[in-house]
Amino acid sequence: MRLTKFGHACVRVEKDGRRLVVDPGGLTEPQALEGADAILVTHEHFDHFSEETLRRAAGSDPALRIWTNASVARRLDGLGARVTAVGEGEVFTAAGFEVRVYGTWHALIHPDIPRVGNIGFLLDGALFHPGDALTVPDSTVDTLLLPVHGPWSTTGQLIDYVRAVAPRQSYAVHDGALNDAGAAMVGGFLGGSAPGSGSRYDRLTVGASVEIG
């Protein structure tokens, strides 16, 4: 499959002429949804979910399907059966990909800040996008999309998370608020230098693609 990085937490995955987009939010370039057959949304925060963008995309393509959690699905009321609410443990097919759902809640930011639901998606048993949570799937993961910067994690937690998932490789996502210096600092801890995570780490530039799987 072919992975393309878009703004912040959004990626597009392609296989056999089919396109699946994950988390096209308010920080995502519009071209991310060009030719999309299906969309997955991990949770309702603006940097992962844009109601206006999804409604516009659905209006342009009657065949477009969306899978997400219950709270996001409610905000897309009116799109009918084109939107499917899913939860942890469910398995479905989207744009030709087998998708397994993991997780329930967004990572805790602070006890005084209410948590929202968050689900992660494992595609074809190989590529895992956890959304905003450090969920460890009960399955081997070849490629992990690692949320490298947010108010709910530390670099130390990220190192331990990658070690727990033990992917062959990880690629940075959730990095839209990092400048180049910050990205280099995070990469220095997650890449080949000490203490390292035990997996190959890279950060794609926006619009860059790589073959995985």
Q: Domain locations in the chain?
A: 2-204
62-75: burial string, b at 16+ Cβ within 10 Å, e else = eebbbbbbeebbee
pLDDT, position 100: 98
C-beta atoms surrounding 151 within 10 Å: 10
Cα distance between residue 19 and residue 97, in whole Å:
9
What average pLDDT is seen over the chain? Answer: 95
Residue ranges in the chain whose pLDDT is less than 50: none
Q: What is the pLDDT of residues 57-87, one digit of tens each?
A: 999 999 999 999 999 999 999 999 999 999 9
User: What's residue 191's pLDDT?
Assistant: 79
What are the backbone angles phi and psi of residue 14, rounded to the nearest 5°? Answer: -125, 140
The Cβ of residue 77 has, within 10 Å, a number of other Cβ atoms equal to: 8
Other Cβ atoms closer than 10 A to 197? 23
What is the reported pLDDT for 174? 97
- pLDDT, residue 27, reads 94
Kindly report the number of other CB atoms within 10 A of residue 106's CB atom.
23
Position 213 scores a pLDDT of 79
pLDDT value for 196: 74
Residue 85: exposed, middle, or buried by beta-carbon count in 10 A (0-12, 13-18, 19+)?
middle
Q: What is the structure's pLDDT at 194?
A: 58
Eight-state DSSP code of residue 31: G
pLDDT at 193: 60
Residue 73: per-residue pLDDT:
98
pLDDT tens per residue across span 139-150: 999 999 999 999
pLDDT at 163 (0 to 100): 93
Predicted confidence at residue 29, as pLDDT, reads 92
Q: How far apart are CA 110 and CA 59, in angstroms?
A: 38
**Secondary structure E strands in 45-198:** 65-68, 83-85, 91-94, 97-102, 120-123, 127-129, 143-147, 169-173
Query: CATH says 2-204 is which class?
Result: alpha beta
